[in-house]
Structure 1
């Protein structure tokens, strides 16, 4: 059994969503990893480690990224807002489940945006270069929102763009030096649960870290 097949078997026991598991098996992560690091795409030693994708950014570790998408409970036809496109790998997984036309992905960094645009050329995804911390009003409301960078506080601008009972998965600063991964369900009283401690880069922009 190849290392890639071992990784598939490992995640098949962890992923709750059959649709996400099928997408994980269809989308080849190797295509989204820069040339010097392609051999690490399905390395068992790197399941919990980030891989560089540009001079400024790493991709979210595979185990954490897949867990975050699983927490979203993605369904076919869901309208999804993604903050931080990165290499486009997780964007492609989302698109495989919900349909590319239903995905709105925002990237703040021009180098990452250009990389993702090239990697996602086969998908009909709405890729936007801009300030993801304030969301994307034009296409609201969203069924699901996922954020790949840590918000300094509760991300209300994004929460306001969720449908009622919509789900957001987002890292939030718990203190100056600690971050938590949170699942938030919108309602009259928001349901908020901390899933784990995490380490993400800071969310840039008007409603993020502007410095």
Structure 2
């Protein structure tokens, strides 16, 4: 695969960032990350015209690459600082992972679909990113590497997985969409210094479902 990011791509990306900012994303670090990551790398070349539209798009295995606004919204809510240890549940195309790496995260990312895991890992490495990629059950997280300063879940959960709450560091933040398959509420879970949990709601979104176990 030849990765080309030309002036046209960059111009389309700048327009996309302006659109996302107009919808309420104010964190300049997040906007710059969107500007720096070529979204078209994560989509089939035949769909280039869709790469810089603010919409989700199928990527195979019944999964999607999230709408750029949604990626930006979750990332802004997460409040990632450089060198924080971040767990991403649902690698998917790898696009969200690249955004987190642009913010300086020490990223651990887990994907239950083997083909997506392999393709995202290869693409991210080709782009110069070196996240810690794992093929496994996102519901379980990655206990051996916990606690995590930040956890982001990129699929709709029917409930908040207790295993992920346990892997969140004191003072940590987890962003997760929770609800049924028709729509989910974006929740921010904060683990306070005394270990207590604070939850807040941040609007309705639609994600593919978060499923247990590994797919082939």
Q: Under TM normalisation by the shorter chain, which class is it?
A: 0.7 to 0.9
The aligned runs of 1:182-201 (5 Å cut-off) are 182-187=187-192, 188-201=195-208
Aligned match of 1:7 in 16, 23, 28? Answer: 16
Classify the secondary structure of the residue corresponding to 1:113. helix
The alignment's TM-score, normalised by the length of structure 2, stands at 0.85
Instruction: Report deviation, 1:38.
Output: 2.0
What is the aligned partner in structure 2 of residue 180 from structure 1? 185
Query: Aligned partners of 2:78 and 2:29: how far apart in 1?
Result: 12
The aligned runs of 1:9-88 (5 Å cut-off) are 9-13=18-22, 14-43=24-53, 47=54, 49-88=55-94
1:86-123 CA-partner distances (Å, limit 9, x unpaired): 11011011011124xx1000000012112201211121
- Alignment of 1:120 with 2:124, yes or no, is yes
Query: Aligned partners of 2:14 and 2:33: how far apart in 1?
Result: 15
Please give the root-mean-square deviation of Cα atoms over the aligned residues, in Å. Answer: 2.1
Query: Aligned partners of 1:15 and 1:118: how far apart in 2?
Result: 30
Distance 1:15 1:152, change over 3 A: same
Q: Aligned pair count?
A: 201
Q: Is the 8 A contact 1:37 1:51 kept in 2?
A: no
Classify the secondary structure of the residue corresponding to 1:172. strand
Classify the secondary structure of the residue corresponding to 1:192. strand
- Alignment of 1:169 with 2:175, yes or no, is yes
Distance 1:30 1:177, change over 3 A: closer
Gaps of 5+ in 2: 1-7
Query: Aligned partners of 1:197 and 1:18: how far apart in 2?
Result: 23
Gaps of 5+ in 1: none
